[in-house]
Structure 1
Amino acid sequence: MSRSVPRGMDPRVRDANPRMWRRGRVTAVASLLLAVLTASLPYAPRGWGNLGSLAQTLLPWTGLGVPVLLGCALLRRSALAAAALMVPALVWCALFAGDLADKRAPGPVDLTVVSHNVSETNTAPERTARALAASGADVVALQEMPRSGEGSRSYRRELADRYPYATVMEGVGLWSRFPLRDVAPVEILPWPRALRATVGTPQGPVAVYVAHLASVRVLPGAGFATRTRDESVAALAAAVRAERLPRVVVAGDLNGAVEDTALEPLTGQLRSAQGEAGAGFGLSWPAAFPAVRIDHILVRGVTARSAWTLPRTGSDHLPVAASLRL
């Protein structure tokens, strides 16, 4: 006996509805796996080749899987796949919706900091220095400065008028509108590519660290090579832990994202100005198409009012900036 069809209803529509919940099972399973992957990566062990560290650095990009799987669900006209896709979307939003929100706050600002890896291969150091001077920052922290030659002289010359106080050590430099004292190198193995100085602001002293941690590489057969970077993180974290001043700012190229658990010895003591008062992820590298944020301004004992990236200079990094309430 044939089933009756409600008057005016196309039998093809009636038969299609159950199939919408049977189609797209592969896409549905892929969605659930993406959700599990996204939720577990923040706790992933580093494992062979530090692949956990690499995955954590790229963690926000797992969100790209959602529109890809949505396209598959629409192509298959699968209600099952569309429903399953809500799970990774919700997981991603739980992890990163706060980063996308605009957390910039109005109010008085006592100190504005700019940090920039200017790149040793920068062919326009004068233009870069002028852009940094025009940023309106009170303090400028530079990394990967040329140790000699015209490039080095360009930064010193172009920043001198606005910033009467300056110090440069081992490719890192600090320029300030306020007096600097107690300037000293910080030994981050295997070379002292960091310095520490007390900035004498009108609101009181602030310990400012400028650091360029060791580079990381993805190497065949070795995976994500981070051993030297991790050693320099530990050394810098020890210096910050021993800091006696209550107000601390760490600015520099850390060659890692704050999601990377390898940076926890440092990020566990400090807050990210971008995470606290930014709008979006503030991706800083590579400058042509920023994919990760490895340039940071981290704080302790101060309040970040806002954080942002500056326009591209002649470097392969974007400058990062933060305004602070002391």
Structure 2
Amino acid sequence: MPVYEDVAYFLTGLITTWPQVLSQGLVFEAGHLQRCEQEFLQGYFEHEAIPWEIIRLFRLKLMLQKWSAKTLSVQRQPGSRYASTVRQRLLHRFFYKTVTAMLDGRLSPTSSSRGQTRCTPQPTSAAAATRPQRSDELLQLSRRLDWRFLLPEPRLQQVAYFGPAESTLVTALKTFSESLTMQSEAPAAARTATPPRFAVVIAVAPAPAALAEISEVLLPGGCLYVELGSVFAGRKRRAGQGWRQALSGPQEYVAALQRLGFEQVVAYWHRPSFAAAAQIIPLRDPLALQFVLGRRSHDWKNRLISALERAALHSGALARWIGCVSLVARKASLT
């Protein structure tokens, strides 16, 4: 097995292993990925050079998948949906084999289209033994931050965090953000006195009344990302604060953010969970919800869950019943 096979899988499977709705063009837009894929890839594998041929190959795949998603979003027919799925699988298989072969044969310098030459030495046995495990850990951590591609700028720079001090989200933020400030560890008075200086603020299960304080550290034009748990998880985390707060659904948070002057407030459903999201679905898009909940499963448990979710969707109670909802909002810019 090639030493770089895990890297090849990351490069070629980055899109198809992400939320399945992505390939249908219903949640993410390929333009976000196309704009930052070069910096994104180089940031993950700084310990070795990635040839420009691989980056160009990856960019070509993005363009083809963007065309495939656009075609499906226009036709919306079962035949075109099946054809798109087949195209996605063929693309993944072709690019995986191609990139694996290219990475496996990197024994000489590689010339880039920009006139630069990058050295590609064969790694030592110690590095070969540790790199697959390390890159797999990075990939799993990066999936915890898939929501960043919903932001105008996916690169996390100056980030403030309100929430539990120990979680996979905190670990991922410490790994992939340029600067992380744990606001939850500072006294409330100190947080209020801090001038707004963060482009991205993240809050986990805050009370609706706390959004005003949280927004004070966010720069005008910055983005706020909020994670809301289920009714029961919220009750457990906020024990003693009353059922009224625990039952606060996305609508209450959306209304609170709009009163604070936030723009483009959108709620997303992370299915099945934040840590292992296979799909990130916009709750205000009926077509995306119907597509996801209309899929058939061979597992009777999944069929039962999907039936309950469809019933909740038709009754209008889906947003309150589901477990993992996030909010993405943009603070109004100064005029």
TM-score by length of 2: 0.28
Rg larger for: 1
Greater share of residues in strand: 1
Higher helix share: 2
Task: Using structure 1 for the length normalisation, give the TM-score.
Answer: 0.28
